[in-house]
Structure 1
């Protein structure tokens, strides 16, 4: 009997793991309350925002968050002491937010998603506007877009 060699799996990273569980909980609570999201959605947004900031900080490249993820970055920045310490500890500099500096079209968001994946992050594409659109009635619930 021939067995296929095992391929080691690499665990994808999650942005929420970049901060302590206590800080993540405070950020998610704030995001949920401030932007009127369900807690589970606020957690997803914060996870993506933290990964996004990390990739920008590590690469030094300017990137645009999606309209859905941007409030997560705002939430972190509003926790100024924690945000400043995070930036200076991880990157040696403050990561500034420049509103309206980039476009948020599908191609730009696909590039951001690709960069995040290249840095080992699991990406929730539904928050970036890059998930395939569903074309009813062909979408039956088991395709990549459903």
Structure 2
């Protein structure tokens, strides 16, 4: 995969993508669902989830995947369907679907490649990556187009 950087890498704090009121709701949801996560960390998670969704929409079909921590933010966002749908429309021009992967679909080396591809896409989209929130991958992909439930195949 080749990702072209069209603007300086890491120029935008992804937390600025999400309305502060929505961010507050998402932080509360993350900390309620995962009491081991502090509000400060949950705020960072929301920002990285926003960057992941934005990059996923910008680079559809690239098999991007969130880390486990970032996936917590994505799940919280998806539960707020009106906010999530509005965010997707405003940020990438369409809905970014969440499609879990099957157990055992990726080898460790494939997971590392997916992680690197995802972080490269986020950076190429112009967002900073909070490396501490990306130690691993969750069992999901952005699957923006080409899946059975994507708009392309509906």
- The TM-score normalised by the length of structure 2 is 0.70
* Gap change, CA 1:122 and 1:70, over 3 Å in 2: same
Greater C-alpha radius of gyration: 1
Instruction: Name the residue aligned to 1:128.
Output: 134
> Structure 1 residue 75 and structure 2 residue 81: aligned?
no
How big is the alpha-carbon RMSD for the aligned residues of Structure 1 and Structure 2? Answer: 2.2
Structure 1 unpaired stretches of 5+: 1-8, 131-146
Q: Which has the higher contact order (CA 8 A, sep 6+)?
A: 2
Match of residue 110, structure 1, among 116, 123, 132 = 116
* Gap change, CA 1:53 and 1:11, over 3 Å in 2: closer
Instruction: Name the residue aligned to 2:42.
Output: 42
1:68 aligned counterpart, secondary structure: helix
1:106–1:129 CA contact under 8 A, matched in 2: no
Aligned positions, number: 122
User: Pairwise mapping of residues 1-146 of structure 1 onto structure 2 (< 5 A)?
Assistant: 12-36=11-35, 37-61=37-61, 62-100=63-101, 103=106, 105-129=111-135
How far, CA to CA, are the matches of 2:124 and 2:92 in structure 1? 18
2:9–2:127 CA contact under 8 A, matched in 1: no
How far, CA to CA, are the matches of 1:83 and 1:77 in structure 2? 6
How far 1:51 sits from its partner (Å)? 0.4
* Gap change, CA 1:111 and 1:83, over 3 Å in 2: same
How far 1:16 sits from its partner (Å)? 1.3
